[in-house]
Amino acid sequence: MTTAPLATRLDGLLFFPVTAFAPDGSPDLAAFRAHVRAGIDAGAGAVFACCGTGEFHALAPEEFRDCVAAAVEEAAGRVPVVAGTGYGTALAIHHARLAEEAGADGLLALPPYLVVADQAGLLRHYTELAAATALDVIVYQRDNAVLTPDTAVALARTDGIIGLKDGLGDLGLMQRIVSAVRAEGLDLLYFNGLPTAELTAAAYRGIGVTLYSSAAFCFAPDIALAHHRALAAGDDATTDLLVDVFFRPLVELRSLGRGYAVSLVKAAVRAGGQDVGEVRPPLSEPDPAHVGELLRLVDRARALLKEAGA
């Protein structure tokens, strides 16, 4: 594990691997290692293990620990490994300590389980989590954990909290948060954490949010990286092409089934030759016709990229 601060190491395309399960439903650590290794070798800038795409909600604590440790070993310091944590404060701290023992570089704090807390409760939850671990914390804003600018400022003042990942998609709120934190002379890393972040990456970039997670990287790293390079280079022709022929249709396809932000991604990883198994309940496998349509989108995007020389 490197001693460089996590905030200085988070760059490039952020990889959120799926968690591999064997036919009997148990974690398949060998397959998970292979999936993580393939992503790092393909050019991932960081590995976010056992987060939303990795079915954090479905993992027992000891399974979580083993998967995080496997990701850390595969990364071997080449890229940082950030582990998910969540549920109520006590369980979030427990997972944080397991991740720390496993060698993770940081934490992504998923929304608290079930309850809709007020701002004081959310602030207490995240500050207690940050105080209980030596790992840096990125707060994931979405669903029942939506912050006001004042709360974001308070989090930016909190030792150990280094970032805010937005899965809400309210650009007006994000601009207010970025402005409020900046006006106080504070720093946070900001991440676009929408399920298919490439669709909105250009809009987020306009308010200074350049980091984003890519679910598509799990099954089509070449397409995800082509978009990332084009966006960074200001190559509007390529980014527009990929939005039109791949990412927008992917978002529309994802909306056809419950849980498709995970199950459709995992099915596409399997179809690409990585035997990562099925999703765990309460998620269900996607309609095979939808998987076939996704694979056709992948083939079309690759053909057009080749034709364009991108």
Which residues have a catalytic role annotated?
Answer: 140, 165
Question: Assign residue 153 a region: left if phi > 0, alpha if psi is -120 to 50, beta otherwise?
Answer: alpha
> Which residues, other chains included, contact 270 with Cβ-Cβ below 8 Å and sequence gap of 6+?
276, 277
Region label for 76, one of left (φ > 0), alpha (ψ between -120 and 50) or beta (otherwise) = left
- Residues 126 and 160: their CA atoms lie apart, in Å, by 10
Residue 238 near residue 222 (C-beta atoms within 8 A): no
User: Is there a contact between 126 and 155 (Cβ–Cβ < 8 Å)?
Assistant: yes
Residue with structure tokens 């306009």?
206
Q: Which residues of 87-115 are buried (b: 16+ CB within 10 A; e: fewer)?
A: bebeebbbbbbbbbebbbbbbbbbbbeee
DSSP helix/strand/coil, 214: strand
